[in-house]
Amino acid sequence: MKRRTLLKAAAAGAAALVLGGCAHPQLIAKGVSEADIVAKLGKPHARTVLPDGTVRLTYSWQPMGQAVWWMFLDSSGRYFKLEQALVEDNFPMIKPGMTRAQVYELLGPCAEEYKFPALKQTSLMYRYEDYSRAPMALWVDLDLTGHVVSWTTSTDPWLDRPLPML
């Protein structure tokens, strides 16, 4: 019984730490600097300077979350736009021949990586919600050299996993 009480107390303490320190891109005020964003959210998974000089910061909530956020900074370094990146309209940005690093620059870390030796491929699985809020998975298939071969979607395979118990 004592062990169960300790586990419950540890879980409650961890939840309090997580919830107490919550920061989310949707809570960041427009017009703040990149330094302010990093102070609140931490270092982004990727920082990309786009051809027009705009900077895109990529924050991934993978593996447990189902979102990847792009925060855009103008040429003066001020935050002006937030976009949920992990939506079906953006998937065509993933093109055959792209490198694994370019996929990471777009979406950050994946939720899980699957290896298919017989196909000589690796699939990066990103969890997301479709427009009807159904749990889905984006699969980015890479060849042995780490280049994109294709991408596809399916229902989220994690739905079939048992929930961990305390």
- What is the third-level CATH fold of 25-157? Beta-lactamase Inhibitory Protein; Chain:B, domain 1 (3.30.1450)
Cβ burial 86-121 (10 Å sphere, 16+ → b, else e): beeebbeebeeebebebbbbbbbbbbeeeeeeeeee
pLDDT of residue 160: 79
* Predicted confidence (pLDDT) per residue in 77-127, tens digit: 999 999 999 999 999 999 999 999 999 999 999 999 999 999 999 999 999
Half-sphere exposure of 5 (CA within 13 A, CB side): 2
- Could you tell me the residue ranges of all domains in the chain? 25-157
CB 62, CB 68: distance < 8 Å: yes
Give CA angle at 12 (6, 13), nearest 5°.
90
- pLDDT of 164 reads 67
Read off the pTM: 0.80
Detail the DSSP E strand segments found in the chain. Answer: 46-49, 55-60, 68-73, 79-84, 112-116, 121-129, 135-143, 148-155
